Amino acid sequence: MSALSDPDATRRAFALVSLFHPRLSYERWTRYLRRATRPKPTRAGVVFVEDPRGYPHALFRYAVDLEPSLPAVELGARRVLRLTDLVVGEIAGSGLLATIARHGEGLARQLKCGSIAIELPGALLGRAGELAGYDAIAGGVVCRSIEPTALDAIRLQCAQPASGVETG
């Protein structure tokens, strides 16, 4: 996974994106990237999945939603990581959609989000079943709660003072 931050990566990713959005110019592509990462670099960005040679096979935009939708609130989430603008090249048996979901789940934990919502484009709606643990909520959006890992629980315990110990 690599963030789209250098000119070579931007050009390679444009080659993939232009297959799915043929009317998109390179100028508009770079404008999209600037806008997609402008809100808060620590809460939004564009990520792509690349092979060992550095060629992208998929990409997505992510952003932390501090005012989640009703389905996310129903799951008890206050912060939701939304994955949008998915572009996924078809490679038989590649598991790209599941790879995107796993990476998104990692980002959600890192950004302290309680759930993740993935907006599947029309071409990927039939593949929602590849996403284990996700529930379809509406209009091509799948969602799941993000459970803290054992490492997250250890970090939380280490951050809290032990009982009976004064701090400061």
Domains and CATH numbers, the chain: 2-159 (3.40.630.30)
Helix (H) or strand (E) holding 49: strand 44-50
Residue 123 pLDDT exceeds 70? yes
pLDDT tens track for 41-96: 678 889 988 888 888 899 999 999 887 666 666 666 678 899 999 999 876 557 88
Residue 16 pLDDT exceeds 90? yes
pTM, entire model: 0.79
pLDDT tens track for 21-45: 999 999 999 999 988 877 666 788 8
Residue 18 pLDDT exceeds 70? yes
pLDDT tens track for 149-159: 554 444 444 44
Identify the pLDDT of residue 93: 57
Average pLDDT over the chain, rounded to whole? 79
Do the Cβ atoms of 51 and 2 come closer than 8 Å? no
Residues in the chain: 168
Average pLDDT over residues 134-144: 87
Q: How confident is the model at residue 163 (pLDDT cuts 50, 70, 90)?
A: very low
List of residues 6+ apart from 30 with CB closer than 8 A: 10
Query: Collapsing DSSP states into helix, strand and coil, what is residue 72?
Result: helix
